[in-house]
Amino acid sequence: MALLEVECLRTHFRTPDGVNRAVDGVSFSVEAGETLAIVGESGCGKSVTANSILRLIPAKVGRSTGVVRFEGRNLLELSPRAMRQIRGNAIGMIFQEPMTSLNPVLTVGRQIGESLRLHQGLDRRRAEARAVEMLTLVGIPEPQRRVRAYPHQLSGGMRQRVMIAMALACNPKLLIADEPTTALDVTIQAQILDLTRDLKHRVGAAIILITHDLGVVAEVASRVIVMYAGRKIEEAPVAELFRRPRHPYTQGLLGAVPRLGSSLDGTRGRLAEIPGLVPSLTTRIAGCVFAGRCPRATDLCRAIAPAMAAKAPGHGAACHHAPAEAAAA
């Protein structure tokens, strides 16, 4: 049995313009120790999917339905108290922007220690000692001093490492990383990715990596899901997806990745672009969500939503016209 099984997850928000279908029928699973990447452009539903798994969507504005089964228990059916025992304990999360996720008036040691006192029953002294261990684990220098520092006294890379330390403090079985390298310079990004790989081998946690950066996916993930307009449109092992993308949107994403030999003046290796705009999620779309931007779209695509269909072992695409053998990207 998979560690996490998500079946037909839907998260809809009530807005003045109507119902926003941010996540619309997404299904996937995560095996123990696996790194699964969820990719797509901004607004495709990646972060909402992560927040829905952890039940972080406020009931006043949104509602999640479907099945989110973690170790055999449907998280969407648990009481708030039972969910709090899982959140930050068996499932850890690295949020997108550490400066807004960390409490500015508490030391980082106290913030790491909170989950340890709550879930592990440690007293303040033992929690601080464990916080020092975690800061050491994530590579922060002088951890005995930094444990008493406030978030504003740390660099962006250090704050992100603190977030990772908090997420791993209780030895979770599943770690959700929401854009962990966003807003960091490329040198710090590389350090965070190296740290993520190293910690995965040390603690053995499964990872859901949410990102829009295909370079990051190639570095750390073993399997990838591509989302567009709230729906899953392709799923494959990473090497297979990069070598033979089946869905036109995935092909467009890979075509927009800079490669050696490309130039800014367009004289050679010009980057591809995907014409058109993402459809409004407040309008129910009967057919394929990508039909309005797809060069292959037909009346069938605009009328009937394609189901995920296997195009190769472990490789599925939601496209009426996706070939079983696609040309290499």
Structure tokens at 328: 């290499």
Summarised one tens digit per residue, pLDDT across range 163-195 is 989 998 898 999 999 988 776 777 777 777 887
Owner of token pair 């081998």:
201
Give the CA radius of gyration of the chain.
21
Q: What fold is seen in the domain 4-221?
A: Rossmann fold (3.40.50)
Summarised one tens digit per residue, pLDDT across range 194-228 is 877 777 777 788 999 999 888 889 888 999 999 99
Query: What is the average pLDDT across 243-267?
Result: 77
- Per-residue confidence band for 320, with pLDDT thresholds at 50, 70 and 90: very high
Query: What is the average pLDDT across 314-320?
Result: 95
Instruction: Please say whether the beta carbons of 274 and 252 come within 8 A.
Output: yes
pTM over 0.85, yes/no:
yes
> Cα(110)–Cα(128) distance, rounded to whole angstroms?
7
Query: What is the average pLDDT across 265-287?
Result: 78
Q: What pLDDT is attached to residue 261?
A: 59
Q: What pLDDT is attached to residue 304?
A: 96
| Contacts (Cβ under 8 Å, ≥6 apart) of 293 | 249, 274, 275, 276, 277
> Cα(255)–Cα(77) distance, rounded to whole angstroms?
41
Q: What mean pLDDT is reported for the chain?
A: 89
Summarised one tens digit per residue, pLDDT across range 38-64 is 999 888 999 999 999 999 999 899 999
Q: What pLDDT is attached to residue 267?
A: 47
> Cα(235)–Cα(223) distance, rounded to whole angstroms?
8
- Strand bridging mode 62-70 / 4-15: antiparallel
Q: Would you list the domain boundaries of the chain?
A: 4-221
